[in-house]
Chain A
Amino acid sequence: MQNTDSIGLGAEDAVKCRSTMTCEDILQKDWYNILDANPSESLQELKQKYQKLALLYHPDKQSPDVPAEELEKRVQRFIDVDQAWKILGNEETKKQYDLQRRGRSLPRNTSFLEHKINMATNAGVNVNAGTRATATSFQKKSRSKLVSIPGTRPSVQNGQLLVSTGVTSLDYVIGGGLAVGTLLLIEEDKYDSYSRMLLKYFLAEGVVCGHSLFIASSRDHPGDILQELPAPLLDEISNTEVEKELAKAGDSSRETQDSMKIAWRYQNLPKVQTTLASSSRFGHYYDVSKSMSTDMCEAATCHSFFLPNELPLESAAESSNMNKGYIKLLRSIQGVIHKEGFDGAGPQNKPRSILRIGVHSLGSALWGDDDICCKENPEHAHSLTTFLYSLRALLRTSLSVCMVTVPSHLIQNKAIMGRITKLCDTVVSLESFSGSERETNPLYKDYHGLLHVKQIPHLNSLMCEVPDTKDLAFKLKRKQFTIERLHLPPDLSDTVSRLSKQDLAESAKLLGLGCGTTATGKKHLDF
């Protein structure tokens, strides 16, 4: 239904609210409610309802003796109705909205779609789910068993089975969650404070979802790590907190709508969203100041691998491909996977779960790998890479997911780091501000560090879901580890982008000295 505007403002059509609406906007309003319809109605019925409401609330159709506030409310209603029709009238967006709406309303831990887990191929854990989502409860009769594993959900992008990493904003950054059967590598920050925190979140999420845990460490005993896991926040508290924040953001934007005097055409555009959130929340929230209760820890099945206990300390240097520590770890993981039936070897009627493997500080000197962190041209450089390769093969053929932290700042040879990155699926690197000069930089004062996403896998597809911004910063609050878009304000100082002649001369001098011995004195390189 075209809006013939009698005032003749053709150029204003360029302001298309629809194209600037973000995902969050589309999903926060209940469009069916606005149109006074329900999801099962056909397109024709929805169109009729839209036309009726549009005629009722169109600003040109209002009688002149309507008071101003009432008029404004009706105009707002008209805008809402129009937006609702935009979404529900287009088949594709309607389908997307329906999917996500249903995902929100259902309880978190069960998956409502039919899965088929492909065990035979090494191509990965492939779940054919997404395309068969229907609005009815009709389920196709097929030979595969209906498998729903608590704590997992299928990806809306490629149908892979996803688990949460324990940090909801990290889930969003890596494409919705961690796919089962893949390896997540965290490059540690310099003092290993935040990467340990991420590992603990990962394991805590496993405990809460009822997954089995496998903790491998060479420094701290896995029992100690298990006791230091953060306590999960009760659902009501976390829900209301997050919703309060969203509501506050929504209210403030509504307030400023009336306050724009000159730039009023931009009123309805959403403010820049710094927080990353997806519509359907997948993971849980944890309180870092409290540790998980002991009975919760004990309820979880936990396998541990503590290197000093497994290997005698005075073992001779290794001559095979992998060092002894890694071989033992690999065998231990393989044993657990086979024994507990994560690779499908066990009987089918056992309730399925996911094995979460967490390995702390792999590649450091404590694992017995004396080359990578100590020398620039290590002889046994392939030890760690062989281990990762074999580990990934193990993961692909079982229902398990692994998070590994590596102290990449200690690894001297960057080529090795490149190989390690290629051998893992998702790679995320943490750079904390503590101890660097950035700590006092006022631009970074709200955050504890930067997060760099180095690699995202394409699993059984040609494309992967890349986060739309590469500047991400994190901060560890008591109840949440948030990752946000680093939104730097414009630099309005006088000296910006204007290199003085003095600076140029200085930098040229340094360059000159570095290049050769003949450059002396203040040479001003002029091009």
Chain B
Amino acid sequence: MLVEIIQGTEGGGLVVIKDSAECDGRSLLKGFVKAAVLRNEPVHVLGFEVSEDELRTGLDSGTASRLVFHDGYSDPLQWLGQGKLSVQDYSAQNMRNRISQSEDPKVVTLVIDSLSWLLLHTPPTAVCQSLQELSRGGLKVKRVVALLHSDLHEQGVVGSVCHMATALVTVTPVSGSVSAEAEPNGTVRTLLRRKTGRVSREEECYSVREDFSVQILRDLSTRKQPTPDSRGETKQDDPAANLTFNLRLSEGERLAKENLSLPFTFSEEKKSSLLQPRSGGGRILYEPDASDDFDQEDPDDDLDI
């Protein structure tokens, strides 16, 4: 599923890549950029965390023209006054204006590197609302791909932002040994929310090559457990086999057994009359025994004082 999201066939308006200190997601982000550029779509990057040069390393010159970098890294607080992007400038409207300045007729993929920087400087609701506004699509922005460092924020903030995403890609380090030709970068768990309301989840092992194309090495998603079936098969083991005594019935014995009437089976008539609803609760029918002394006058008569 990761490949489809990267290619843009699935994933909808907002893709959030969630990484942590153990496993970096920036290479995957660059994979997204590369794939978008290969599809001839213009990409606008809001860079806050890494410089332009660093982002452009590895991407060949052919892609450079399609990649528009809005520099929020070199002068974040706008001390030099050179008109660079600052965090305070960030809002849906301003971003749209910046994008439309580039005069590109096609719709644009907006890449945000990274959301964590924004969340540290602006209230989470403003970020969520602007993301919603941008990813709702329409005019200029086809899709928003954002990087989020999950260990920099409170659980609530991460939860709220991820709740907004139509596709959530969580990057985790590889556990266990992998003997494949390529060294995996990590495992990725993707969660895709479709328009119908269905949610699909998958877990894959991925690696990002030199030219930032993403390759899926292995599909790790656990399918439905096969255990019920296997358990069912073992149950059918015949317990009457392999015994020192005989538990099986011959034909004649079986017929005789079926013809035997059990002690408390009644005839049909008696059964149906018993099944009738009785009124008056349980009745106690007392039949005094021969030795019962049913003397009403003096119940303690037989006491020997």
Contact = CB atoms under 8 A, between A and B. Distances in A.
B228 to A, nearest CB: 5
Contacts of B228: 442
Given A5-B273, A79-B276, A435 B132 contact: no
B168 to A, nearest CB: 10
A193 to B, nearest CB: 4
Given A313-B91, A368-B125, A410-B163, A374 B157 contact: yes
Q: Which of the four size classes fits the interface of chain B?
A: 35 or more
B242 interface: no
Contacts of B199: 191, 193, 434-435
A13 B281 contact: yes
Interface string B89-112: 001110000000000000000000
Nearest to A410: B159
B274 A435 contact: no
A501 interface: no
A317 B279 CA distance: 72
Q: Which of the four size classes fits the interface of chain A?
A: 35 or more
Contacts of A440: 222, 224-225
A301 B270 CA distance: 65
B253 to A, nearest CB: 19
A124 B157 CA distance: 39
A436 to B, nearest CB: 10
B164 interface: yes
B156 interface: yes
B290 interface: no
A373 B278 contact: no
A196 B129 CA distance: 20
Interface SS of A by simple majority: loop
A187 interface: no
B76 interface: no
Contacts of B123: 317, 370
B277 A17 contact: yes
A261 B91 CA distance: 76
Interface in B253-301: 262, 265, 268-285
Nearest to B286: A10
A59 interface: yes
Contact of A10 (B160, B197, B282): B282
Nearest to A317: B123
A435 B191 contact: yes
B278 A3 contact: yes
A78 B276 CA distance: 8
A265 B130 CA distance: 69
Given A7-B273, A78-B276, A308-B133, A373 B160 contact: yes
A91 B123 CA distance: 66
Given A59-B273, A68-B268, A193-B198, A313 B129 contact: yes
A148 interface: no
Given A5-B273, A10-B284, A191-B193, A370 B154 contact: no
Interface of A: 2-3, 5, 7-18, 59-60, 68, 71-72, 75, 78-79, 82-83, 86, 191-194, 196-197, 218-219, 261-262, 264-265, 267-268, 308, 313-314, 317, 364-366, 368-370, 373-376, 407, 409-410, 412, 434-435, 440, 442
26 contacts: A7-B270, A10-B282, A11-B282, A13-B278, A13-B283, A14-B281, A15-B278, A16-B277, A16-B278, A16-B281, A60-B273, A71-B269, A79-B272, A79-B277, A193-B193, A264-B271, A313-B93, A313-B129, A368-B129, A369-B125, A373-B156, A374-B124, A376-B154, A434-B199, A435-B201, A440-B222
